[in-house]
Amino acid sequence: MKTAQWVYRFNELDRAEKKAGGFEGARALLGGKGVNLAEMTRIGVPVPPGFTVTTEACNAFLANANQFPESLWDEVLAAMQATEQATGKVFGSSANPLLVSCRSGAKFSMPGMMDTVLNIGLTDETAAGLAALTGDPRYAYDCYRRLVQMFGSVVLDIPDEDFEDILDNWKHKLGFTTDTELTAEHWQAITEEFKAIVKNHKGFDFPQDPYEQLRLSIEAVFRSWNGKRAVDYRNAARIPHDLGTAVNICTMVFGNMGETSATGVTFTRDPAAGERILYGDYLINAQGEDVVAGIRNTLPIAQLQKDLPEAYAEFLAICAKLEAHYQDMQDVEFTIEQGKLWMLQTRTGKRTARAAVKIAVDMANEGLITKEQALLRVTPEQVNVLLHPQFERAAEQQAKAEGRLFCTGVNASPGAAVGQVYFDADTAERMAKEHGQAVIMVRPFTKPDDVHGMLAAKGILTSEGGATSHAAVVARQFGVPCVVGAAAARINLETRTMTAGEKTLKEGDWLSVNGTTGEVFLGQLSSIAPDLEEQTDLLTLLAWADEAAARADVRPGHVGRGLQVWANADYPADARRARAYGAQGIGLCRTEHMFFEQSRLPIVQRMILAESSAERTSALDELLPFQQADFAGLFEAMDGLPVIIRLIDPPLHEFLPSQESLLEEVITMRVKGETDGLADKEKLLASVSALHESNPMMGLRGVRLSILMPEIVEMQVRAIMQAAAEVANKGLTPKPEVMIPLTGHVNELKVIQPRLEAIAAEVMQATGAKFHYKFGTMIEIPRAALTAAEIAGVAEFFSFGTNDLTQMTYGYSRDDAERNFLLKYVEDHILPENPFQTIDQPGVGRLMQMAVEDGRAARPDLEVGICGEHGGDPASVHFCHRIGLNYVSCSPFRVPVARLAAGQAVLQQR
């Protein structure tokens, strides 16, 4: 017994909606193209009669060894009879032939990824009949040769070049440059040669049964769902592979019937800039593929007003109607057949990031959509694109054509950078600062003591590392375009060269790094640098996002405010940039980065190597003014907003030369008999060796270091509080929050936090300043999350360090995992996402949710946020909103992205 309806005519949308549960269900059933043809029919837009074979039929066909499901062909035949009745034409008749197109149409637009066949129904007999009926044999045989060519390449898998070669030979022989110069006789002869190609390739004649043409064409479109380009496109666009494509059979209308006929493609707004103007082109006396294929020079759509003014006026009205109906910019295809306008497609138009923002804001201001709808029209990825310099597409295409693509890697930090290559941080900084060069710093991988070179660089390239490696994290923090893990690039630090394939560049050569795509080019590519202050539409949209986020539920810690976006910032300049980008606080200031500055590192090393507490305290006293000045700058930049400062976190060996390099130096000096400075080197090596740990990431760091060497964090807290007092006495409002990292047991806080609180009280009493401060901790060890109720009894706020929490929950070493197996895990769907890029909600996320709930049960006003790399990931932002966090914190350059994501999270949860 028949249980499914496989075919719906364009005037049966109500029936499809009833079966599928509404318009969106009908979109899944009929595909985007089919549902829009049916919707245009329903609202009175002129659409040629036709029908849609459903996506369910496609999936049934593919599941049944490429065989039509039962009754499908009978439904197609019945729908063809209805189409004949609607048009007054007969499929296969030579007296008044009906011709149809067969086009794909999945639920989500996949332009050009699947197959189309036009002019189905033409045979030797019907082509002659069409020539007699229209009195235009040139038009008839032009249509016939197009069918043979398209059917041959799409349905029969004959190389299209075989047909094009014949066409080119004819034009060359006749001295013609365009197809329009060919006459009816020429087209008739060419058609015969095309049919001979079919016979030679396939061993049978071109089908003369119109229904066989139709059946084979439908099968070909179904099969094209699993074609390589369609699969690759779906992978890139993250479109599910089980949706299937619908097939649309539509009555052919012809734009190649003379000077009163035309065909074109138009956007109802400019898809590049978003301006409210028609944007498209057309051709007189042509068929649709001529416009798309670019085989003739097209005309701008505005010219149609002069060529065919009545059709143009109707077209303008229909475009306005469609945009108002769908409440979005439309991409439409049309044909004018002897003065009569027909609409062949409408769909939501693809657009650039810039256009997406402008169109959303303009439509909201026009009253076509609401502000909330406008917010949901723009993706966080599009905002990200707008914030970073980008190479001009034409420049990249030209560079590829010239063979200048050098290597590819992980697109770790978006944006475009052009500079001269240098292979170490010191040289990179010197060439940038002393010589004013634009620098690309190239390293096998980066370390914390490379930060000064990274800050001086316009772009960064490493041959090792993943998306959350040191280079990637720092690059994103400072908005430096970065490509990591470019395995094809072989870096030779001795010869100061880098080789990929047969291309080699030396230090000082120019390189262009595209951190958005992960591509690296030889030479200099031109780029476009955006300015946020000039992007008024984006600023408007982000203000709406803030309004939406602020309307979220009232949360502990921030009375009356919803999810906020803060920034990770280590220096006053970062804080000012973050505030300019809309950050409502600093969620992470990493004090250790300040220690790596060239003027401070020797003092830090002297402090680490001190042999007595007095010697260590003396070095710390030298550091205190530096730290105090840094913190005062942050408080001034963030006047009235919270600033969370993390006390020293990394193990001390990171501030010293590597054990391997020191050992090599000592051995070399011994072998050469060099004694000058040898004793100092040996002493330093002994100290570094004493600090060596098998697993330093889980060793003496964070709160453990604070307990064993409390002088360090005591100095830091004194600097923080003295800076806050200094700023408060200027009439500003500092809001310091001191964060103790890596707590695993509440007793650790009970040991160190009272000592630090005493220093804070001492400074306030000594200075007479009045300001509010907090002490809290990072939750980055699973045990801390599991015992959050105990920890909240001491800590006044929690901040999730999701990078380390993910490492310790999974038992992964982040860099090792990304280098060795994690990317394959994601590719093979062992893991759904890279957990260092998007929060693992069932695992890491569950720990976070437990910590929030248990922590607030113990301390109802507990402030909770996130300061790991996940703070700028839109999916993670949505999760943080759902579990009730007060804020997410990310790099300054990700703040606008997170602001949009926060607003969208509130709207979508509603």
C-alpha pair distances (Å), 661 with each of 664, 667, 668, 684, 773 = 5, 10, 11, 11, 43
Classified as helix, coil or strand, 9 is strand
Taking the C-alpha atoms of residue 784 and residue 695, their distance in angstroms, rounded to an integer, is 20
Asked if residue 299 lies in contact with residue 362, where contact means CB atoms within 8 angstroms, the answer is no
Is 867 in the active site? yes
**Range list of β-strands (E), 444-579:** 459-462, 482-484, 490-492, 497-500, 503-506, 510-514, 519-522, 527-528, 564-568
Contacts of 414 (CB under 8 A, 6+ apart): 384, 385, 387, 388, 481, 515, 516
Whole-angstrom CA distances from 320 to 34, 35, 315, 536 are 21, 19, 9, 26
Main-chain dihedrals φ then ψ at residue 737, nearest 5 degrees: -130, 120
* Given the residues 58, 143, 482, 867, the one annotated as active site: 867
Instruction: Please provide the DSSP assignment of 384-409 as one string.
Output: HHHTS-EE-HHHHHHHHHTT-EEEE-
470 labelled catalytic: yes
Q: In angstroms, rounded to a whole number, what is the distance separating the alpha carbons of residues 718 and 760? A: 7
Rounded to whole angstroms, how far apart are CA atoms 73 and 729? 85
Contact of 247 with 60, CB cutoff 8 Å: no
What is the DSSP code (8-state) at residue 71? T
Q: What are phi and psi of 438, to 5 degrees?
A: -80, 125
- Both tokens assigned to 504: 């080699």
Query: If you compute the radius of gyration of the chain from its CA atoms, what whole number of angstroms results?
Result: 34
Count of H-run helices and E-run strands, the chain: 38, 31
Quick one: angle between helices 613-637 and 601-608, nearest 10? 140
- Helix axes 55-63 and 210-224, enclosed angle (nearest 10): 80
Q: How far apart are CA 181 and CA 532, in angstroms?
A: 52
Beta carbons within 8 Å of 510's beta carbon, 6+ residues apart: 418, 419, 420, 421, 522, 523, 524
Would you say 874 and 901 are in contact if contact means Cβ atoms under 8 Å apart?
yes
Q: CA 407 → CA 207, 326, 487, 520, distances in Å?
A: 48, 43, 8, 5
Give 829's contacts (C-beta < 8 A, 6+ positions apart): none
Q: What is the largest CA-CA distance in the chain?
A: 108
Identify the CA nearest to 412 among candidates 509, 479, 357, 495.
479
- How many C-beta atoms surround the C-beta of residue 480 within 10 A? 25
Question: How far is Cα of residue 817 from the mean position of the Cα atoms in its chain?
Answer: 23
Nearest alpha-carbon partner for 214 in 122, 105, 149, 146: 122
Please pick, among 388, 452, 470, 653, the residue that the annotation labels catalytic: 470
Q: Which residues contact 466 (CB under 8 A, 6 or more apart)?
A: 410, 412, 472, 484, 485, 814, 815, 817, 818, 819, 822, 823, 836
Geometric angle at alpha carbon 609, from 604 and 612, rounded to 5°: 110
What amino acid occupies position 666?
A: V
* Cα–Cα nearest to 131, from 217, 254, 47: 254
Of all helices (H) and strands (E), which one includes residue 494?
none
DSSP letter for each residue of 446-483? --GGGHHHHHH-SEEEESS--TTSHHHHHHHHHT--EE
Contacts 24+ apart (CB under 8 A), 575-578: 575/633, 575/634, 575/637, 575/638, 575/643, 576/637, 577/892, 577/893, 578/892, 578/895
User: Which amino acids are annotated catalytic?
Assistant: 470, 867
